[in-house]
Amino acid sequence: MFNKILIANRGEIAVRILRACKEWGIPTVAIHSDVDKNSMHVRLADESVCVGTHQPANSYLNIPAIMSAIELTNADAVHPGYGFLSENAEFAKILEDYKIKFIGPSSKLIKMMGDKIQAKLIAKKYGLPVIEGSEGGISDINEAKQIIRSIGFPILIKAAGGGGGKGMKIVNKEEEFENLFLTARSEAKKFFGNDEVYIEKFFQNPRHIEVQILSGKNRTIHLHERDCSVQRRHQKLIEETPSPILTDELRKDLFEKTVKMVSQIGYEGAGTVEFIYENNKFYFLEMNTRVQVEHPVTEVVTGIDIIKEQINIAFNGETSLKQEDIKPRGHAIECRINAEDASKNFQPSPGIIGMCHQPSGFRTRVDGSIYQGYKVTPYYDSMICKLICHGRNRTEAIQRMKRSLDEFVIEGIKTTIDLHKKLLDHKKFVSSDFNVAWLDNEKII
């Protein structure tokens, strides 16, 4: 196994990776910015290195500083977590050149699937249904207008080089198109360094379904699906597995096609293939070449430690699991707890946490990095922890989550805990009568 793993991340995912490394018996190195010196991942790691100031570009995205930390500590592998450099092909290539193992797919695969246009063409080649739209990137406004007239409104303009709602614009009529097209290109350039955009048919009431995969040189398996349709402005709030709306027949078809594509492209590691689902049909959305925020719901229903298996695949080139090993049990739900004031348009709420009591009990899990006295800064993503509850069925999982949210105490800052309580009580959530636009169109707070 690896001699030492450097964790190129922070917060709850860094702590999650640390735990997996400890269970493998692998020493760890935590990198951190100046404001994160007292963070939980720094406290738990065997070694730590400050790689810069609080701005992400100066620390967690600072490749030269991170390479120096690797050399200083003699780490022979890097786990990137999610976000930051996790899907940065340049960083993965540098590690490959220096014979440092990147715990994820090759730089070639990251680049190939990170390009949303190329990924769509690959998915289509290997038999996955894709969304109607442009075959490639569009820069000419007249060419774009011809495409939108052929597929009809509404349409979606999307950045080729990234996601998370950046560079994404919904167009309902032609008069809006030119202005939104130029705005999308400008945002894409700002956030991803690439102003290429593409056009797709916009779905009015879709669900967001994704398939977790583990893949090695000779074998690709799936760990079933997750339903991530409770979103606000394209950011997921609640995830669950299994999806309450899919039939076994649809699942079988989805899993077979997903595994076929992933195995055909020679993927190694953990990954997630995301789909839009509407009117009993699936459409390929994108592939994330990393571990997902919502991976714990899959872990608790399958009993598989995805992070440990990521490390195992990176070291051995093969997954130790076979498809028949994957036998999901029950239902799991995850709530992302953010340091935000939902009553004030989700305004970030930095500050020092006072009392901090985290729920526990039967089939209740908290993945986080917070503690009493921890300072939540305004410089990074506002998610501070995740609450995961497992039940024999969806009803029991919802009740367990409500009980656990009631136990959660975080003083000193505002959080989205009360929002989650309202969502779990909402008749549309209970009956699974919602889609990705639900929270944007209906006032909950």
DSSP string, 321-341: --GGG----SEEEEEEEESEE
CB count, 10 Å around CB of 360? 10
Query: Cα–Cα distance between 12 and 27 in angstroms, integer?
Result: 18
Token pair, residue 106, equals 């090759």
Three-class DSSP category at 320: coil
Q: Which residues pair with 107 in a beta bridge?
A: none
How many Å apart are CA 386 and CA 108, to the nearest integer? 32
**Contact yes or no for 210/225 (Cβ under 8 A):** yes
What pLDDT is attached to residue 163?
A: 67
Mean pLDDT along residues 89-104:
98
| pTM exceeds 0.85, yes or no | yes
C-alpha to C-alpha distances, 388 to 60, 364, 368, 397, nearest whole angstrom = 27, 6, 11, 9
DSSP assignment letter at 384: E
CA–CA distance, 138 with 196 (Å, rounded to integer): 7
Backbone angles phi, psi at 303, to 5 degrees: 75, 15
pLDDT above 80: residue 164: no
Q: What is the rounded average pLDDT of the residues 206-217?
A: 97
pLDDT at 312: 98
Three-class DSSP labels, 236-273:
EEEEEECCCCCCHHHHHHHHHHHHHHHHHCCCCEEEEE
Task: Give 191's pLDDT tier (boundaries 50, 70, 90).
Answer: confident
Residue 139 pLDDT class (50, 70, 90 cuts): confident
**Residue ranges of domains in the chain, CATH in brackets:** 5-103 (3.40.50.20), 132-201 (3.30.1490.20), 207-441 (3.30.470.20)
pLDDT by residue (tens digit) across 327-356? 999 999 999 999 999 999 999 999 999 999
Residue 46 has pLDDT above 70, yes or no: yes
- 232 as an active site residue: the answer is no
> Looking at the chain, how many residues does it have?
445
Predicted confidence band at 425 (pLDDT cuts at 50, 70, 90)? very high
Return the pLDDT at 138: 85
pLDDT at 226 over 70: yes
What is the rounded CA–CA span in Å between residue 367 and residue 292?
13
Rg of the chain (C-alpha set): 21
* Residue 123: pLDDT over 90: yes
Task: List all residues 6 or more positions away from 40 whose beta carbon is below 8 Å from its beta carbon.
Answer: 15, 369, 370, 371, 374
Over residues 388-397, the pLDDT tens digits come to: 999 999 999 9
Q: Indicate the Cα dihedral angle 368, 369, 370, 373, nearest 10°.
A: 170
Lowest model confidence (mean pLDDT) among 110-114, 142-146, 366-370? 142-146
pLDDT one-digit tens code per residue, 49-61: 999 999 999 999 9
Task: Of 384, 336, 337, 392, give the one whose Cα is nearest residue 363.
Answer: 392
Residue 445 has pLDDT above 80, yes or no: no
Of 238, 191, 165, the closest CA to residue 426 belongs to 238
% of the chain surpassing 70 pLDDT: 99
From the list 16, 207, 226, 290, the catalytic residue is 290
Q: Across the chain, what does the average pLDDT equal?
A: 95
Name the residue among 399, 388, 420, 46 with its Cα closest to residue 226.
388
- Which of 55, 57, 12, 51 has its CA nearest to residue 29? 51
